[in-house]
Structure 1
Amino acid sequence: MKRFIQTIKNIFSIEDLRVRILNTMGFLVIFRLGSYIVLPGIDPNRLDVNRNTSGILGFINTFSGGAFNNASIFALGIMPYISASIIVQLLSFAVPYFQKLQKEGDSGRKRLNQYTRVLTIFITIFQGYSYLKGAIDPSVIMNPGPFFFVTSVAILISGTMFCMWLGERITDKGIGNGISMLIMIGIVSRLPLALIAEISDKFPGKAFAFIIELFVLFGIVVAVIALTQATRRIPIQYAKQVIGNKLYGGKRDFIPLKLNSAGVMPIIFAQALMFFPALIAGMWRDSDIGAYIGSTFSDPYSWQYSLLFASMILIFTFFYTAITINSNDIADNLKRNGGFVPGVKPGKQTAEFIDTVLSRITLPGALFLCAIAVLPAFAVKAGVGQNFAQFFGGTSLLILVGVVLDTLQQIESYLLMRHYEGMMKSGRVKGRSQFAAA
């Protein structure tokens, strides 16, 4: 405890780090306050803020910290920006023009950011209108009409763009990745209420069961941390070069390939696609097939839903890993810089070797990711409350662990630069950025 207090003192003794932490807290407070400002024209007294949303709607509500159910100006949060970023990122791997922009350095990244912002506006227009028509109860709208929908969509666009601005300010003036911090604070904001509801449900009769739940949750968090940090290091040897009268090169290095290179993206893709069974059921509502699909896949904790969800995560993990890590580019860069994998010929054989290693580690990583994604369903079946069960796995837990590790790593970097002791006595904090694929 004494060492922990000393670490806190060291953190706040660094002026730059102290200012960044306070800036981050201020921006996050603004984000949370905005989630309670209801859209003009909606009666807040008629809103059912505690209604149960599932599927993609519950996914958005969790990421927005309840702003979705509150019908607030931040109802869509930064989800349109995330969708636009995913689309632009996929285009960067599939379309030559976007590939060229990605390789142009800062100017190319600025152009890609402009495309992402413009695409965010169009996505927000579509999602905003769908949100007002499908997710808002018509009885809470005081004066429904074209004027209400036009102004509300404009406000939702402004809210999403303001959230983007907050994220960028946190990245520039605060600590951690701004967009990730906004998602994390939205998820964390729902933890206290879920924990209180679980305690009130379990105590006093089921107090032992609640203690078991906490131990299981701790074990799951440890497993997710291990999944996030696990890497397979491929050794690299650089050839020696004589330049003038000096000898350069000859050093040894490694390529860190993550066990879970795709991160949370497969779960996000699969979660978005799980919205389609409900659409199919709505289109065929009068048929037996539509009734079966609607009754089966409307419950996110059913075994059919979990099986389909896990299957799509498995497919998307291999797909996303394949498009984000190009073994041929890695092999070409190694050959160009005079590096090689010991025992493997440079060029094509090196690319095949890296691809083989990547395939072998992606399968257990994908299976582990599937298990983490469906754990909330098993938690509900075991008697855990639905709100508290969301923190037993899925996207929420993976994002929380990843963001916390990244933030701790940045804080530790400031401490080490000022010659203070690190935050972990057993070793350095390792965030996701430390394991970026070469």
Structure 2
Amino acid sequence: MFETIRNAFKVKEIRQKLIYTFFMLLIYRLVSVIPAPGVNIAAVKASTGSGLDMLDMINMMTGNAFQQMTIMAMGITPYINSSIIMQLLTIAIPALERLQKEGEEGRKKIARITRYVTIGLALFQAIGLVSSLGYIKPGWFNSVLVGVSMSAGTALCMWMGERITEKGIGNGISLLIFAGIISNLFNGTLNLIRTAISRGLLSDWISVFAVLILLVVMIVLVTFVNLGERRIPVNYAKRVRGRKMYGGQSTYMPMKVDASGVLPMIFAYSFMAFPSTIIQLTAPNSGFALWWNTYMNQGSPAYLLITALLIFGFTFFYSSISYDPVEISKNLQENGGMIPGIRSGKATVNFINRVKNRLTMFNAFFLAVVATIPTVATIQLRTAIPFAASSILIGVSVALETMRQLEGQLTTRNYEGFLR
């Protein structure tokens, strides 16, 4: 990895892209400390992390920008939600499905629609969430200020992400999330160390070392699974066109183990966080609220079991919409390809489906186990773990994908240099 980065800085064009990416991320972090006008900062700091799981998730994704109630408080989360909504609507609405199949122009139109939905969603989330929590100062003008400033912050995040993707290295949106997660992880770990130093207890230092070891172990496990893939061999038949012969080669079709990424975990967390958030906002002292906080808190067996089942369900759901064995089989057949020992057509579809289900089952089990590790560790160590499983998954995935793009660009430059 370090060799790749060192070689990248030797190529002028790649070096400029890396500097541009770093510069944009630096601006993002600097803008993230600008306070939003019209909010009560004291009320925000008192409420964040007090049982509102949805707020903790937003805070994790924005690198503490929500806790500080800056103009980047909503961060890029409205864009992620809009992208997920558009992805689901593309499956449900035939007009959007046709638009997606129109090629580059169709994708540009969908991207434009996603931007408009993002701004509307950011405005709604900013005013609705912040006002319902009592964070906005009295007066309608303050509500307007909060909505406009935070939706403008989301728009800036979206623009910066697209510029990084276009002129920098890696996926810009993912790198903005990555920057927020790294900032949150650094601050959380630093707070643990400060607590251990101030109290001077051996148990505190044991907890710090245990957290660091757990972090390393989780990064290694997630990296191992993220890089894992099932390679299905494919043979292409020889075809003669005119005086030339095409095909006749053997290759493989990769199927990633972690094809669904972190989405099933985010969906499951959001699903579980929604009821507790509604209860806290509407009837925090009711009997149902007492029952929920007693039996469905984050450390309860029922919460962990339901979260694991939701992760299983969302993993299989996402796998069903991202992998289409019928389409894969059709493409193989049209290009003269076949899997050794498997007949073309329905047999190929069944084989791919069987492999997909096995990989999905393993991935679902892995995500469910990883999701529960930080919660169990928090209970056993009796200290707050400064990271969530989703943040580790996102961080590792973004880092690996960025390194792949960097290596790809280096390989391209080497080929160009050889040809010249």
Which residue, 348, 352, 355 being the options, matches 1:354?
352
Q: Secondary structure at 2:66's aligned position in 1?
A: helix
Taking a change above 3 Å as real, the CA distance of residues 178 and 135 of structure 1, as seen in their structure-2 partners, is farther
Residue type at the aligned position of 1:178: G
Q: Give the drift of 1:304.
A: 2.3
Q: Give the drift of 1:125.
A: 2.4
Give runs of aligned pairs for residues 285-304 of structure 1, distance below 5 A.
Answer: 288-297=287-296, 299-304=297-302
Which residue, 15, 20, 35 being the options, matches 2:17?
20
Give runs of aligned pairs for residues 279-290 of structure 1, distance below 5 A.
Answer: 281=279, 288-290=287-289
Does 2:395 align with 1:400?
Answer: yes
Distance 1:173 1:42 in 2: 35
Contact 2:38 2:142 (C-alpha < 8 Å) held by counterparts: yes
Contact 1:277 1:294 (C-alpha < 8 Å) held by counterparts: no
Please name the residue that 1:153 is paired with. 147
Which residue, 24, 30, 38 being the options, matches 1:33?
30
Taking a change above 3 Å as real, the CA distance of residues 245 and 8 of structure 1, as seen in their structure-2 partners, is closer
Of 90-99 and 223-232, more deviation after overlay is shown by 90-99
Does 2:96 align with 1:102?
Answer: no
Taking a change above 3 Å as real, the CA distance of residues 79 and 306 of structure 1, as seen in their structure-2 partners, is same
Q: Give the drift of 1:7.
A: 5.5
Distance 2:83 2:240 in 1: 45
Taking a change above 3 Å as real, the CA distance of residues 238 and 20 of structure 1, as seen in their structure-2 partners, is same
Q: Secondary structure at 1:256's aligned position in 2?
A: strand
Which residue, 154, 161, 166 being the options, matches 1:167?
161
Taking a change above 3 Å as real, the CA distance of residues 104 and 7 of structure 1, as seen in their structure-2 partners, is closer
Please name the residue that 1:416 is paired with. 411
Q: Secondary structure at 2:45's aligned position in 1?
A: coil
Q: Give the drift of 1:236.
A: 1.1
1:63-117 residue CA offsets vs partner (Å, 9 max, x unmatched): 0111111121111011111001001111222322222122111001001101111
Q: Secondary structure at 1:69's aligned position in 2?
A: coil
Segments of structure 2 that go 5 or more residues without pairing to the other structure are 416-420
Residue type at the aligned position of 1:411: L
Please name the residue that 1:426 is paired with. none
Does 2:46 align with 1:52?
Answer: no
Please name the residue that 2:418 is paired with. none
Q: Secondary structure at 1:68's aligned position in 2?
A: coil
Contact 1:49 1:69 (C-alpha < 8 Å) held by counterparts: no
Please name the residue that 1:75 is paired with. 73
1:246-268 residue CA offsets vs partner (Å, 9 max, x unmatched): 21101112221111211111011
Segments of structure 1 that go 5 or more residues without pairing to the other structure are 421-438
Contact 2:53 2:277 (C-alpha < 8 Å) held by counterparts: no
Residue type at the aligned position of 1:383: L
Contact 1:281 1:294 (C-alpha < 8 Å) held by counterparts: no
1:352-410 residue CA offsets vs partner (Å, 9 max, x unmatched): 1111111112111100011111111011012163242x25xx21000000011011122
Q: Secondary structure at 1:137's aligned position in 2?
A: coil
Give runs of aligned pairs for residues 285-324 of structure 1, distance below 5 A.
Answer: 288-297=287-296, 299-324=297-322
TM-score by length of 1: 0.87
TM-score by length of 2: 0.91
Does 2:87 align with 1:86?
Answer: no
Distance 2:214 2:414 in 1: 37
1:208-257 residue CA offsets vs partner (Å, 9 max, x unmatched): 55334333322221110111111111111111101111211011122211
Q: Secondary structure at 1:76's aligned position in 2?
A: coil
Give runs of aligned pairs for residues 182-193 of structure 1, distance below 5 A.
Answer: 182-193=176-187
Distance 1:177 1:36 in 2: 23
Number of equivalenced pairs: 409
Distance 2:364 2:4 in 1: 37
Distance 1:124 1:340 in 2: 48
Which residue, 108, 123, 133 being the options, matches 1:125?
123
Contact 2:230 2:256 (C-alpha < 8 Å) held by counterparts: yes
RMSD: 2.3
Distance 1:95 1:285 in 2: 39
Distance 2:253 2:154 in 1: 38
Contact 2:43 2:135 (C-alpha < 8 Å) held by counterparts: no
Does 2:4 align with 1:10?
Answer: no
